[in-house]
Amino acid sequence: MTDTTNKEDWVSPPKTEVGVIGWMRKNLFSNWFNSVLTLIALYLILTTVPGIIEWALINSVWGDKSPEVCREAQGACWSFIYEKYRFILFGVYPYDEHWRPLCAMIIFLTLIFGSCIKPLWKLGWWIAVTWAVGLVMVGVLMWGGIFGLTYVNQSQWGGLPLTLFLATFGTVFAFPLGIFLALGRRSRMPAIRSLSITYIELIRGVPLISILFMASVMFPLFLPEGVSIDKLLRAQVGIILFGAAYGAEIIRAGLQAIPRGQYEAADAMGLSYWQSMGKIILPQALRITIPPMVNGFIGGFKDTSLVVIIGLFDLLMTSRVAFQDINWRPFFVEGYLFCAAIYFCFCFFMSRYSQWLEKDLAKGQNH
């Protein structure tokens, strides 16, 4: 037996086991099947990626160039974005007032990201106050009419602020409605239970597009003569009703995860239904439902793109209108990529956050 206490007797591992080559052997070429796969994957990458890089970066046209220059170049025409980015981001909002939706968006994003920071949750219901103040500020900025700002009707709102507006308000209002529906579905009173189940199953069974159509076409018929509701509000109500049904199911899953012991202990202490719900059950359930709710928010953010179909100028619609301009029509790929990149950034980071959050919340649990 070799004595391995002496350093000179140590033998380093074979070269094919360590370092880059070792890693490649283990991960890329471990058996013949994997090797074939790796070769196919490398082939795919080598045929597509250089072409993409060439198109997007090397041959592309940047800065303030005219469409003719773009047409001659073989690459991507990022001048199109340079020319149109303000329209894509802000829609038909008056050109000189673009700072207002920009500030409104910054406030929105601060509110959203601030609510994501876990240490700030200790503030409790001060969060609600901050949100209320923030949303009022957003309203003042977007509408104007006071403090010397010119009034801008909501039919002129568009682009990214509109998408954020619809998604955020949709989730914020769908949440309490979803709580009521979830509680109703679990209620022991048969009438309330059936009403909740009917609502939830009905709304979940139909596509969001039909709810939006219903909102834009039928709501006016539902109202007495003379009352008219703005199209934006109709779309918002449709999104809220839709989101509430899905939120109700998520919250119901959270409620089911609470052990029965909690309910019984609350009863034993003599708490009424609403007291036990408000003080004991819901705080625990909502903590569990936060990751799925964040996913719901991401889904809602993507779903706002459907308002294209009822004629609201959200981010997707403004992108499409931007390259309807006859001069820039061939560059639709750049337009779609820009729009997709914005959605991707937002959704990707939110989904990473929700995955982190899920792991973080699970730390305190016993199972």
Partner 1 sequence: MTIQTGESEGLQPAKAVFYNDPKVRAVFWQIVAVLGVVGVFWFLIHNTMANLDRQNIASGFSFLNLEAGFAIGEGMIPYTAADPYWHAIIVGLLNTIKVAVVGIVFATIIGSVVGIMRLSPNWLVARLATVYIETLRNVPLLLQLFFWYAMIVEVLPRAKEAYGPFLGVYLSNRGFNLPLPDTWSYLGLGAGILIALVTVIWLYRRNKKIHDETGEIKNTLGPGMLIFAVAMLLGWLAGGAPTTLDSPEFKGFSFKGGAEVTAEFLALWLGLTLYTASFIAEIVRSGILAVSKGQWEAAGSLGLSRTQILRFIVLPQSLRVIIPPTTSQYLNLTKNSSLAVAIGYPDIVGITNTTINQSGQAIEGIAIIMAVYLSLSLSISLFMNWYNNKIALVER
Partner 2 sequence: MKALKVLGMAVGAAMLASPAFAGSTLDEVMDRGAVRCGVSGSLAGFSIPDSKGVMQGLDADVCRAVAAAVLGDANAVEFVPLSAQQRFTALQSGEVDVLSRNTTWTLTRDTALGLNFTNVTFYDGQGFMVPTSLGVSTAAELDGAAICVQTGTTTEKNLTDYFRATGMSFDPVVFEGFEESVTAFVNGRCDVYTTDASGLASIRVSNVENPDDYMILPDIISKEPLGPVTRNDDDEWFDVVKWTVNALLNAEEMGISSANVDDMLSSDDPSIQRLLGVSPGMGEAMKINEEWAYNAIKQVGNYSEIFERHVGADTPLGFERGVNALWTDGGLMYAPPIR
Q: Which stretch binds partner 1 (CB under 8 A): 5-13, 20-28, 81-89, 106-114?
A: 20-28
Amino acid at 203: I
* Residue 310 site contact among partner 2, partner 1, none (CB < 5 to 8 Å, cut-off depends on kind): partner 2
- Cβ neighbours around 195 below 10 Å, total: 15
Rounded Cα–Cα distance for residues 285 and 253 (Å): 8
272 binds partner 2 (CB under 8 A): no
Among 227, 259, 261, 268, binds partner 2 (CB under 8 A): 227
Q: Output the CA–CA distances (angstroms, integers) from residue 52 to 49, 77, 188, 199, 323, in the order listed.
A: 5, 13, 60, 48, 21
- Cβ neighbours around 271 below 10 Å, total: 16
Q: Report how far apart the first and last C-alpha atoms of the chain are (Å, whole number).
A: 47
* Residue 336 site contact among partner 2, partner 1, none (CB < 5 to 8 Å, cut-off depends on kind): partner 1
Contacts of 280 (CB under 8 A, 6+ apart): 262, 265, 266, 271
- CB of 173 or CB of 353, closer to partner 2: 173
Q: Which residue has the tokens 């359930």?
A: 285
221 binds partner 1 (CB under 8 A): yes
69 binds partner 2 (CB under 8 A): no
CA atoms within 13 Å, Cβ hemisphere of 290: 22
Rounded Cα–Cα distance for residues 139 and 165 (Å): 10
Question: Could you list the residues that contact partner 1 (CB under 8 A)?
Answer: 26-28, 30, 34, 37-38, 41-42, 44-45, 188-192, 195, 202, 204-210, 213-214, 217-218, 220-225, 298, 302-303, 305-306, 308-309, 316, 320, 330, 332-333, 336, 339-340, 343-344, 347-348, 351
Q: Which residues bind partner 2 (CB under 8 A)?
A: 92, 95, 125, 128-129, 131-132, 135-136, 139, 143, 153-155, 169, 172-173, 176, 216-217, 219-221, 224, 226-233, 309-311, 320-321, 324, 326, 329
